[in-house]
Amino acid sequence: MRTITHWINGTAVDGTGAVEVENPATDSAVATAPMADAATIDTAVSSGLKAFEGWSQTPQSRRVHVLFKARDLLLEHRDELAALISEEHGKTLDDAAGEVTRAVDSIELACGGPAQLRGATSLQTGPSIDTKSVLHPLGVCVGITPFNFPAMMGLMMMSVALAAGNTFVWKPSEQDPGVCVRIAELFSQAGLPDGVLNVVHGGVEASQRLIDSPDTEAVSFVGSSDVAQVIYERAAAAGKRVQAFGGAKNHLVVMPDADLEVTADQLTAAAFGAAGQRCMAISVAVVVGPTAEPLLERLAERARNVVVGAGSETGVEVGPVVSRRSQQRVQQVVRDAVAAGARAVVDRSAETVPGYESGYFVGPTLLTDVDVTSPVYTQELFAPVLVVLRVDTLDEALELIRSHRYGNGASIFTQNGAAANEFERRVTAGMVGVNVAIPVPVAAYAVQGWKASAFGDTGLNNASWSFYTRPKYVTSRWESVRGQDFGFNPN
């Protein structure tokens, strides 16, 4: 069994209060991770604070050299990182390798930091007066991340934060923290000075201590919406900058002219891939017009054929969900929905996998005739369960999306440009797909939801340069001007 440590000031640090990290495919412990006490959190923050002096004064180009090197090391170690992710999270090795690649996308974006960190200068804003703006790093920034992308979410935060000259304390999910420490080691190997990136493990109390610390300046959070809101309020009350990204219930609208084979292929992968545990997974298909039954037939055929199993096994398409608790919760919601009148077109929710009978598997499940007030529709299940709803018009589809609590992603499948255009304009979600089921924008854009999917107003990746810097405006004159002006006149 592996022993996961904290990573503080460039060193692996043991701790107390260890919790077991389980392999969701086998229900067996694969590692232990310490739970940071208050003193450990404080040590990580003070090492970030101390390192800030040097890192913030390090020339931008040298900071970027470290990021370049870290990018190369992550790619060199992609298989090793993917294996760690897969073992603790359960996702397939392919999917985990894809996560590492998407995480590297964020580092590559941050390598262009110098172009983003330019201020502006205006000459002669008054008699012999110039005015300029400059961007300062903030100090110690905190990242609190979810289990479902254990590598990518932290890197989506820290890449820009570090390029801008901040230091970082990362508190990953206690469910799959192993890869985060390995990433910190690789950054250290790339030449990141000690204390610039620290990783501490823990749950609620660790998060709270980081938020409340007088020495942390900004909090980035990704996780479920109820927690996002609590974090947003707590950090704001403490006077911190905060961006908190929450849960989702992403709808995909199928117009009558959509190619049903293509739509069924894309929907199957988007709904069931990663066991539905992507914040951009599709969990609701809204079929406009008469094609619901033929689409359901095609989806059912595909859902029955999805290969469910341990993420480490070749040929497996869908791994387990992350925990027994999650498995049991989802199975109960599906049972309740069916008892309340939903039609289970395919129900593999209670399936077991030969050789992995204790694993936390939930197989692809396809429900229709669902009441839109029932939990299977209103709640984020974070599992491979797809609800298919029928409506008569695009207006009705847009209204369903508008009325839902979440607004992370939404997609439309159509061959009609006017319908696609109307959807783009009117849909109430932050990330929109047109004939793309999982429209996660590349790092040059941003990850950001609407409504309860995001609290705060800056997205991750390229939208976070302003979050991780604070501007200063300097007005200067180098000519001696005599005379006293009591009038507060223009410069």
E strands, 83-234, are 120-126, 129-137, 140-144, 167-171, 197-199, 216-222
Q: How many CB atoms lie within 10 A of CB 127?
A: 10
Decide: helix, strand or coil at residue 434: strand
Shortest CB 454 distance to ligand NAD, Å:
6
Gap between the Cα atoms of 346 and 271, Å rounded: 13
Q: Tell the residue number behind the tokens 């479902």, with chain if given.
A: 148
Which string of x and - marks every residue 407-426 that binds ligand NAD (by CB under 6 A)? -x------------------
Q: How many CB atoms lie within 10 A of CB 346?
A: 19
Gap between the Cα atoms of 426 and 422, Å rounded: 6
Q: How many CB atoms lie within 10 A of CB 468?
A: 31
Nearer to ligand NAD, 20 or 357 (CB): 20
Nearer to ligand NAD, 174 or 422 (CB): 174
Q: Is residue 331 at the binding interface for ligand NAD, with CB under 6 A as the rule? A: no
Q: Is residue 440 at the binding interface for ligand NAD, with CB under 6 A as the rule? A: no
Gap between the Cα atoms of 401 and 385, Å rounded: 18
**H-helix or E-strand containing 287?**
strand 282-288
CA torsion angle 401 403 406 407 (round to 10) = 50
Q: Are 138 and 241 in contact (CB under 8 A)?
A: yes
Q: Is residue 274 at the binding interface for ligand NAD, with CB under 6 A as the rule? A: no
Q: Is residue 174 at the binding interface for ligand NAD, with CB under 6 A as the rule? A: yes
Q: Is residue 449 at the binding interface for ligand NAD, with CB under 6 A as the rule? A: yes
Shortest CB 188 distance to ligand NAD, Å:
22
* Apex 160 CA angle, 156 and 164, nearest 5: 165
Q: Are 117 and 164 in contact (CB under 8 A)?
A: yes
Applying the rule CB under 6 A, the residues between 213 and 232 that interact with ligand NAD are: 222-224, 227, 230-231
Token readout for 51 is 């390192």
Q: Tell the residue number behind the tokens 């009117």, with chain if given.
A: 426
Q: Of 372, 430, 391, which is closest to residue 243 (Cα–Cα)?
A: 430
| Binds ligand NAD (CB under 6 A): choice among 5, 86, 145, 464 | 145
Shortest CB 45 distance to ligand NAD, Å:
16
Q: Is the dihedral of CA 308, 409, 297, 262 positive or negative?
A: negative
Q: Is residue 447 at the binding interface for ligand NAD, with CB under 6 A as the rule? A: yes
Nearest residue to ligand NAD, using CB? 223
Nearer to ligand NAD, 211 or 255 (CB): 211
Q: Is residue 149 at the binding interface for ligand NAD, with CB under 6 A as the rule? A: yes
Q: Is residue 147 at the binding interface for ligand NAD, with CB under 6 A as the rule? A: yes
Q: Is residue 283 at the binding interface for ligand NAD, with CB under 6 A as the rule? A: no
Gap between the Cα atoms of 248 and 258, Å rounded: 24
Nearer to ligand NAD, 263 or 277 (CB): 277
Applying the rule CB under 6 A, the residues between 190 and 209 that interact with ligand NAD are: 203-204, 207
- Give the binding-site size for ligand NAD (rule: CB under 6 A): 30
Q: Is residue 112 at the binding interface for ligand NAD, with CB under 6 A as the rule? A: no
Q: Is residue 394 at the binding interface for ligand NAD, with CB under 6 A as the rule? A: no
Nearer to ligand NAD, 279 or 353 (CB): 279
Gap between the Cα atoms of 471 and 29, Å rounded: 47
111 is catalytic: no
Shortest CB 102 distance to ligand NAD, Å:
12
Angle between helices 204-212 and 38-57 (to 10 degrees): 50
Q: Is residue 382 at the binding interface for ligand NAD, with CB under 6 A as the rule? A: yes
| Binds ligand NAD (CB under 6 A): choice among 9, 116, 148, 462 | 148
Catalytic residue among 111, 141, 180, 279: 279
| Binds ligand NAD (CB under 6 A): choice among 15, 34, 90, 146 | 146
Nearer to ligand NAD, 220 or 331 (CB): 220
Gap between the Cα atoms of 55 and 35, Å rounded: 28
Q: Side-chain half-sphere of 120: how many Cα atoms within 13 Å?
A: 3
Stretch that binds ligand NAD, among 70-78, 246-254, 286-294, 359-367 (CB under 6 A): 246-254
Shortest CB 182 distance to ligand NAD, Å:
17
Shortest CB 144 distance to ligand NAD, Å:
5
Q: Of 407, 396, 408, which is closest to residue 440 (Cα–Cα)?
A: 408
> Mind telling me the catalytic residues?
279
Q: Name the site residues for ligand NAD (rule: CB under 6 A).
A: 144-149, 153, 171, 173-174, 203-204, 207, 222-224, 227, 230-231, 245-248, 279, 380, 382, 408, 447, 449, 453
